Amino acid sequence: YLMKAELKTLWTPSTAWGWRSTWKQWLRHAHESEIPALIQFAKRLKGYWRGIVSRVRWPMHTGQLEGINNRIKVIKRMAYGYRDSEFFFMKIKSVFPGNP
């Protein structure tokens, strides 16, 4: 039960570096617990750490992402027939100012 509570705290760090240290600590505790199911779960999660760090650094929800994707689809429909893909990406960037 303690490991479950510790895992919940992983999703609320203030920085990506704070998350990384908490993550390493949780993995170490999981392996030291010698509980086969917990060790297997930790191994599976280990492959997704980059995506999890991205979530910590840029906390976007799926609703926001769906909205962005929808706007890009609309631009793509309006851009049908453009020969220059550079212009298409310029249009996308103009809709979302302030983002690289």
The verdict on pTM exceeding 0.75 is: no
Q: Are 56 and 93 in contact (CB under 8 A)?
A: no
Segment 24-33 shows an average pLDDT of 86
User: What are the respective helix, strand and coil percentages of the chain, to the nearest 5?
Assistant: 75, 0, 25
pLDDT at position 62, please?
83
pLDDT digits (tens, 9 = 90+) for 14-27: 666 777 778 888 88
How do the domains of the chain map onto residue ranges?
2-57, 62-95
pLDDT above 80 for 41: yes
In whole angstroms, give the CA distance from residue 59 to residue 79: 30
Under the banding of pLDDT at 50, 70 and 90, the label for residue 99 is low
Q: How confident is the model at residue 70 (pLDDT cuts 50, 70, 90)?
A: very high
